[in-house]
Structure 1
Amino acid sequence: MLFFVVCVNCNNSHETVGKKQLFDLNWKFSYGESKFASEIDFSDHGWQNIDLPHDWSTEADFSIQKPSASGEIVGWYRKHFNIPENWIEKDVIIEFEGIGKGAEIFINGLQITESIGKSNSFQLNLKSYLNYEEENVIAIKVSQSKEEFESRDIKNGIFNHVWLIVK
């Protein structure tokens, strides 16, 4: 599976088209509201390096998080990635197998979803949002109410695998 992840960052891979590829490695994570975290040029260098799946309620320091002004607990995920030229004109689908409700997804600074509404699996076509000549950034804001966040019955964050599918 590592081979497929590496190919996402290759510029000349022909074998990746038409395949489902794991997109779990090399994400960044930070707790708390961040007004500009969705922007492509936002600096996430000080953020925690993680691989998915990631359930932030299982981390030791999750209990110290304070709700935002809206009363929610917020976590941000970011991933930088390149798209090979041979993917131009192809559908590039991102598939989430499990993400916390309240997720908002941004590609290259553009919001492509509103709040998801429940923990679920879904797909999004990224084709019209991707840059094939420069680095792309996906940013995901996951927010939960304080009660949901503290519940051990509800998973928080991107708690299952993420895939890229190229058609």
Structure 2
Amino acid sequence: MKVGIIFGSKSDIDIMRNAAVALKEFEVEYEVHILSAHRVPERLTTVIREMEDSGIECIIAGAGLAAHLPGVIASQTVLPVIGVPIKAALGGIDSLLSIVQMPKAIPVATVGINNSYNAGMLAVQILSLKYLELKDKLYTYRTEMKEKFITENEEHIEL
């Protein structure tokens, strides 16, 4: 049970780190690569093949500006790809639209701008279809999340 995390620049590390945080919470292994769809396309293709061969079952891809990385990855594999639009210009809306508006038959699941934590959670959900122990952990996580919310919000609230 392993996920690949790919993003285009070292400057994206702080944003993409939260995908790893989510995966760690559920004890899901991952590997990380900094690759560019535009600067090193041949290396990207090689890494995608290596990921498929190594048993990676889902790829999280973060990208800003033109944000082609998730779509290029999706065009080269049948593994599920989760895109994380990274805020760079136009508040990240340009990245969001670049990732979410994929052509027919080449989908990229897309989370909110800079929300790599949700990308990690979506990867966990995808993997939980195959790994039942992961599904059990997700149920426990959600139950505890609800209980914590109720406890924190039952207290007297003054405005």
Superposition TM-score, scaled by structure 2 size? 0.26
Question: Which structure's residues are more often helix, by fraction?
Answer: 2
Task: State the TM-score, normalizing by the size of structure 1.
Answer: 0.25
Structure with higher Rg: it is 2
Structure with bigger RCO (C-alpha 8 Å, 6+ apart): 1
Is the strand fraction higher in 1 or 2?
Answer: 1
